[in-house]
Amino acid sequence: MSCVFDRDKISGLADSELSAADALEVWQHLRSCDECDAYFQDILKLRETASRLPKYSAPAPVRQPNRPNLWVYGISTAACLAALTLWVTRPIPVAEAVQDHILALTSNHLVDVASSNHHTVKPWFAGKVHLAPKVLDLDADGFTLLGGRIDQISGESVPVLEFRRGAHLVSLFVTAKEPRNGPTRGFSVVTWRDQDLYYTAVSDSSVAELERFATLYQAK
Ligand SMILES: [Zn+2]
Helix (H, G, I), strand (E, B) or coil at 38: helix
Q: How far is the CA of 15 from the centre of ligand 1 (A)?
A: 18
pLDDT at 57: 44
pLDDT at 156: 85
pLDDT at 92: 67
Q: Pick from 187, 16, 28: which is nearest to 97 by CA?
A: 187
Within 8 A by CB and 6+ apart from 152, the residues are 65, 66, 158
pLDDT at 62: 47
pLDDT tens sequence across 108-140: 678 999 999 999 999 999 989 988 999 998 999
The arithmetic mean of pLDDT across residues 201-212, rounded, is 92
Q: Tell me: pLDDT of 152 over 80.
A: yes
Length of the chain: 220
Handedness of CA 87, 89, 90, 95 (dihedral sign): positive
For 173, phi then psi, to 5°, come to -95, 135
| Rounded Cα gap, residues 170 and 164, in angstroms | 6
| Rounded Cα gap, residues 220 and 215, in angstroms | 9
What is the 3 state secondary structure string of 91-117? Answer: CEEHHHHHHHHHHHHHCCCCCCEECCC
Q: Are strands 156-165 and 168-175 parallel, antiparallel or unpaired?
A: antiparallel
Q: How far is the CA of 220 from the centre of ligand 1 (A)?
A: 35
pLDDT tens sequence across 179-191: 888 778 788 999 9
Q: How far is the CA of 4 from the centre of ligand 1 (A)?
A: 7
Handedness of CA 9, 10, 14, 20 (dihedral sign): positive
pLDDT tens sequence across 38-78: 888 888 777 767 666 654 444 444 444 444 444 444 444 55
Q: How far is the CA of 39 from the centre of ligand 1 (A)?
A: 9
R_g of the chain, CA atoms, integer Å? 19
**Residue 180: beta bridge partners?**
93
pLDDT at 158: 93
Read off the pLDDT band of 171 (50, 70, 90): very high
